[in-house]
Amino acid sequence: MNSLERVLTTIGQKEPDRVPFFLMVTMHGARELGLSIEEYFAKGEQVADGQLKMRKKYKHDCLYNFFYAPVEIEAMGGEVIFREDGPPNSGRPFIENIEQIEMLKLPVPTESPIINEVLKGTRIMKAEVGDSVPIIGVVMSPFSLPIMQMGFSNYFDLIFKRPDLFQRLMSLNENFCIAWANAQLEAGATAICYFDPFSSVTVTPKNEYMKTGFEVAKRTIGQIQGPTATHMASGRCLPIIDSLANTGTLIVGVSVEEDLKEIKDTCKEKLTVLGNLNGIEMCRWDDKTAEQKVKDAIKRAGKGGGFILADNHGEIPWQVPEEVLLSISKAVHKWGKYPLQWADEK
């Protein structure tokens, strides 16, 4: 099987030839090309080259067009802060008070230089691998994006004090997100990762999620013209699994803080599980630890398909060394071959 066939089989709740695994390596591409993180993300062709080189090295099952979390913020005219040893972050929120939302307008995504660099990189990857490897595009959910647009404090005030302006901001963000997702699919992305950490029960209680993030996700995912995976970026999601399935998403990225077997059992026949290796702890793993962590995850969730091994956050830290990523790959290829007869052993 090629990588795309492997992933489609497991999404169909069947066992492929091997447990598929995604290494969500983003900044590591800069190291491959001998560039700073800021230099690397300046050009789509560099990101494509980095992704292709890393997949060849680590033999994982996807390409990832993700640059950094505040790509949408940069496209909207906001500030991005780069650093030498970690992911770029959003700077000062460009919505400084709630009343600004009344007159707020958002640009067309494809008019932004950074958006077009992402699309360029996506097209290059697609031309290289065709339909043999899934290319994962990324959007920040309309419900989670305001954390960067206006900051936590103002956003909480917006939700609970100005529901009228909350709905207006959601409408603006939904339109932007849908257009941005569909542009990536048109450029060659196979599926869209819908990052939605604010919907996690780590942040938002289930009853509030059902009135807000759930409704936003249903409207947005319903207009994305391709498959989606909802990722909680380390947040917990077990209490809302059924609701996530009802948004139309196919895959859920799950937290290391939740029991992987319980998550898999709850998701059975509803969602494919993506996760849940601890990216922070990876920085300290040796070869033996990496093998054991991979083996444990496969034993808990690999049987019957419906499982893609990955980290639990959706972005592996810069500090995780190449040797650990190679150890993860080696362990998956050793222990992930179906049927998983060894997993039945006591």
Please report where in the chains the tokens 């009853």 appear, as a residue.
Answer: 207
When pLDDT is averaged across residues 66-87 and rounded to a whole number, the result is: 97
Q: Where are the alpha helices (DSSP H) in 102-197?
A: 113-129, 146-150, 152-161, 163-187
What is the CATH classification number for the domain harbouring 11?
A: 3.20.20.210
Res. 171: pLDDT tops 80: yes
To 10 degrees, what angle do helices 163-187 and 113-129 make? 40
Domain count, the chain: 1
> Can you give the residue range of the structural domain that contains 67?
3-344
Tell me which amino acid residue 314 is: G
Percentage of the chain beyond pLDDT 90 is: 98
- Mean pLDDT in the chain? 97
CB 129 within 8 A of CB 63: yes
When pLDDT is averaged across residues 69-95 and rounded to a whole number, the result is: 97
Q: What is the pLDDT of residue 345?
A: 74
CA-wise closest residue to 142 among 74, 79, 43, 213: 213
CA–CA separation, 174 and 92 (whole Å): 22
122 DSSP assignment = H
**pLDDT tens column, 194-213:** 999 999 999 999 999 999 99
Count the alpha carbons within 13 Å of 169 in the hemisphere toward its beta carbon: 27
